[in-house]
Amino acid sequence: MSESIQSIRGFGDVLPAESPVWQFVEETFKAELKRYGFDEIRLPIVEKTELFARSIGEVTDIVEKEMYTFQDRNGDSLTLRPEGTAGCVRAALQRGLLHNARPRLWYTGPMFRHERPQKGRCRQFHQVGAEAFGLSGPDIDAEMILMSGRILRALGLQNLRLEINNLGSKASRAAYREQLVSYFEGQADQLDEDARRRLHSNPLRILDTKNPAMVDVVRDAPDLLAAIDDDSRQHFETLQQVLGAANQAFTVNSRLVRGLDYYGGTVFEWISDDLGAQGTVLAGGRYDTLVAQIGGRATPAIGFAAGIERLVALVEAAGTAPAPTRPHAYLVIGDPDLLEEAIALAERLRDALPGLQLEVNAGGGSMKSQLRRADRSGAALALLLGHEEVAAGEVTVKDLRGQAEQARVAMDALQKTLLPLCTQ
């Protein structure tokens, strides 16, 4: 016997017992995003490698080390998407969605990064993201932040904190970059390998280090907020005022820079201390230069993304996950000769009760074995159909979860018996 094939490390299965909480997370996002005027867009999993190199940044960890890139049979370099924003911008630009419009788009699906699997982080992971285009003011920034907070509360999550920052304009970041390089060059002996590699290519990313040995040197680095331009400062102050008026608590974190090169201006993160080192639950910010980087006209934009695996873990820990769905009733067929009558009855019941979850026994078996299957299914009721029942135009109803006595019910009245189960 040959050895069974196993899944690839970092590529997991979502089993039937786990699916309800995933569906709860996804449906909560969908419902709340719709309330704020966002429309769904469905994007391809594979894009041209150039899209991510141009948008995310060639010296980021994602592009340098983590992307799943390959050549197709035509010799084109293609990549499994490592994040969703670049593909959403590409689609909006290519399909004309930005022409005289300010679209609000959301998407969900798998992303791929070749990194070390750990709690809440896999090589195939799932995200839900939202992007708003054509709006440059702090009003849309505040709405994106408040909407994301509303979604997290709708999931029943507590003990989350919001951190915000402003990265300034491209010009102010360039000036700040020179200050950073000068400072870190004077601390070269305290920099780790990643910091030394990024020093002259992307020094802002050093501020985002997760290396505990770098805490002191990063803490003493020049303050980003002291270096931003006046327009960005006013934008950030207004954002804080709007959030305060909406009673949204937040912390200003001047070391918050985000991991992708296209961010500028407002950035924000919702953080939990319940996920170990991987504490960010939902994050985003402005990327006003990205549309132009990909080939379109300069268009302001802001977005966020959340990892579904992390949200699932938090929902399960919070105990707000819905219970797995179970059939309302299980139809037991007393004789193989009654298969046609049983299937026809089941279809009539499903037509009459759209919310009914009815499982019909398949594969034959004795009455006793079918009742065991009915019990294992978790159904509330077993519906027994035998020759006596068919002759009398009735069905025997057996309560599998309570103390109600077994009773015969006329087929015409069965709908009324099952209706309360469909509305619970």
**One-letter-per-residue 3-state SS of the chain:** CCCCCCCCCCCCCCCCCCHHHHHHHHHHHHHHHHHCCCEECCCCCEEEHHHHHHHCCCCCHHHHHHCCEEECCCCCEEEECCCCHHHHHHHHHHCCCCCCCCCEEEEEEEEECCCCCECCECCEEEEEEEEEECCCCHHHHHHHHHHHHHHHHHCCCCCEEEEEEECCCHHHHHHHHHHHHHHHHCCHHHCCHHHHHHCCCCHHHHHHCCCHHHHHHHHCCCCCCCCCCHHHHHHHHHHHHHHHHCCCCCEECCCCCCCCCCCCCEEEEEEECCCCCCCEEEEEEECCCHHHHHCCCCCCEEEEEEEHHHHHHHHHHHCCCCCCCCCCEEEEECCHHHHHHHHHHHHHHHHHCCCCCEEECCCCCCHHHHHHHHHHHCCCEEEEECHHHHHHCEEEEEECCCCCCCEEEEHHHHHHHHHHHHCC
* Phi, then psi, of 40 in degrees rounded to 5: -75, 140
Residues 16-22: contacts with CB under 8 Å, at least 24 apart: 16/324, 17/324, 18/312, 19/324, 20/321, 20/322, 20/323, 20/324, 20/325, 21/312, 21/315, 21/316, 21/321, 21/322, 22/308, 22/312
pLDDT at position 423: 77
pLDDT at position 325: 84
pLDDT at position 275: 67
pLDDT at position 60: 61
pLDDT at position 181: 86
pLDDT at position 161: 95
Q: Which domains does the chain have, with CATH numbers?
A: 19-169+228-318 (3.30.930.10), 329-419 (3.40.50.800)
Compute CA distances 355 → 24, 303, 328, 423, whole Å. Answer: 18, 36, 10, 8
* Prediction pTM value: 0.88
pLDDT at position 119: 66
Rounded CA-CA distance 106/84 in Å is 10
pLDDT by residue for the chain (424 residues), tens only, comes to 678 999 999 999 999 889 999 999 999 999 999 999 999 999 999 999 999 988 876 556 666 678 999 999 999 999 999 999 999 999 999 999 999 999 999 999 999 998 887 765 789 999 999 999 999 999 999 999 999 999 999 999 988 999 999 999 988 988 888 888 888 888 888 888 888 888 877 788 888 777 888 888 888 888 889 889 999 999 999 999 999 999 999 999 998 887 677 889 999 999 998 766 558 999 999 999 999 999 999 999 999 999 999 999 999 989 888 888 899 999 999 999 999 999 999 999 999 999 999 999 999 999 999 999 999 999 999 999 999 999 999 999 999 998 888 999 999 899 999 999 987 6
